[in-house]
Structure 1
Amino acid sequence: MHICLSNGWGGLEMYPSRIIPELRRQGWEAHGLALAGSRVAESLEAAGITPLTVASRGRALLGLGRLLAYLKANEIRVLHCHKSSDLRLGALLVTLRPSLRLFFTDHMGVTRPKKDPYHRWAYGRVTRVFSISEATRARNVAAFPLPAERIQRLYLGIDPAPYAPRFSHDERAAMREALGLSEGAVAIGLAGRLTPGKGQRGWVEALAWLAEHRPELAWHGVLVGGLSAAEGSNEAFVEELRARIHALGLEGRIGFAGFRRDLPRLFEALDIVCVPSRNEAFGLTVIEAMAAGKAVVGSDSGAIPELVDAETGRLATPDDPAAWGEALAELAGDEALRRRLGEAARRRVQAHFTLERHVEGLVAVYADALS
């Protein structure tokens, strides 16, 4: 049973519904516990399971008897939490039924020590913590009250098939036109929530550097992400970005694509994908762009250097617009280099970052714990 009692919607909340079809394909029966009416619950339904729902975390704690009865009736022996706030529930269930095995994936990257008596009790019931990168694991080992051998790096993965190119020449041209891209312009995209931590501010400054120092290059920037709070953005930050783009005289060269559900097809219209966030715990957008065969420029911090190397893209310091501008200039001026990096990036995802590979690693640990 995957437990995610969150009303939010991001990579953490999407994770259970993303892996459940692959869990089922590999022979495991999956269940879910979510908040009633949440997008997590809706996504589990869409993935083909009817989740058990509760009105709140408090209601879940008050309904331990109901949860234990459900676990027994469905012969569930593995619990997997995805928010640290859900560990209290998981630890209580394991305390009441010691035959259960409890797992926790740290999707965010812990930022402060968790070694007080409560966390020692809760994490003491966890069979294994999964860290989604080596960078995250290093922080987990330092922060969690667990021996290092109970904290395992397990990279996330995606199904690369949807990212394979599908557009005809005319379809790609139509998508580029809809994005406001002129013919022959190198499309430089950044996909993600429009919030300060994702690095859009520095990216705009890098494009300003590019315009000033390499005026001969034809390019167009595309910001992909919701523009309203309902779509996960910081609306004040969106307005700040608009104002800065106007002040730099780049309104005709940087556009806002808004929230998109067709990211694999959008990647087909782009030539370079940027991920300038300072401290990614993993970087799903990175491997999605790589699976689409795109050259990636990413931050040289967090987990991104574990995904991107000189054979598949370029790395630059997040707060250095000149370094970013130089990397973008190199790729914007060399179509053959972009193609070579993109092809190597696609192969790297297929070899190391598939959803199938991720779930194989996950269920191997489940099976070992149960045996």
Structure 2
Amino acid sequence: MTLPRRYGSNTNAAHLSLADARHEAAAIRALARSGVDHQQKVRDELEGHRRQREQQRADAMTVQDLYDAWFPTIATKRGKRGRKDGGAEVARTFSKFVKSKIGGKLLAQLYAVDVRPILTEIADGGANRQATALLVDLKQMFRWGDQNQPWKRLLASSDILAIRAEDIVSGGYDPVRDNERDRVLSEDEIRALAGLLPKADLSLVIRSAIWIMLSIGTRVGETVATRWSQVDLDNKSWYIPAENTKSGVALSVQMSDFAQTHFAALWAWREKLSEDLRGDWVFPSNRDRTAPLNNQTVGKAIADRQRVDGKALPGRTERVDALALDGGQWKCHDLRRTCGTLMQSLGVPESIVHRCLNHARSDKLDRVYLQHDYANEMEDAWRLLGERLAILSSGEAHDSAPAENL
């Protein structure tokens, strides 16, 4: 029999007196006579204490703890899972709207009533789309927590997943209909845009990105992620790898003369930079030429020049109407939609338009058995569009110096 403490003259944290040791030994023998294993009893007590400590730690877990556990699961791209931007946008919105308000809130005490005001405040500020996007991300995080311990136990009584987009938007905003934009720039607006861009205090990088998105139909994220090693100006080709595309399918672009002109302008500008500033990015950041332009920067630059309230945001351009068009506010993705619509108007078959836009093919049999790449037909489509855009934008000065204010 081994007692938990050594003999000593007095009983303390490390020792037992002889009298107390005899008493302890007698108690252990009594347990043995009743069929209780003292050593197992001690182990069970230790395990109970360990579980109690774990329970206490889990009960003290907060929204920040859940975020820290969930974020790595979306920050790395694994097949169709994860974010292509490494979770940068999620990190930005959570840092701005969520962490400061409920980051320290205990998960076991978190309910929809704590989350809903964060979203309604964003929506009431006129950013309904951003509010609904944040709701989607929050639900993804809490859904992940609901499938993994110890978060599942802590969220057992949570009603956050029951929040609907309809509960948080403001005004007459429809979370489904109004998130499906149908804005297309007319030919008159493209003519107007050609006249506005050189005077809009935009960098050559952003102006070129706008024309390239319009003439090829790429998404803004696909565009700004381009490296010079993926562009062949002599052969007018541009390879967009699968990891840069939303569909997860690589796209080989045979660019028009119009698109090539804008790529060539960027190359010529690059060659004028000192050698230490010449990175591989076609669309480099204005702050760090060796890093790519952030797609949010392009969107903000366009939005800042179409401020419907006429008020410039702090630290941003004063040219609040420099890109305003008659048809109303336009965004990066509207250029892609305009590209497809113009191709359609020029007689390009819809199936070829979809291929130029690199839309995912939904029919599995088509993906498996129909392997013709339609490269020639796509080249013709881009050429037709480029020729039309060259006419519409003939008044733009392509060689104007880049502005520094984004």
TM-score, normalised to structure 1, is 0.31
Q: Which has the larger radius of gyration?
A: 2
TM-score, normalised to structure 2, is 0.29
The structure richer in helix per residue is 2
The structure richer in strand per residue is 1
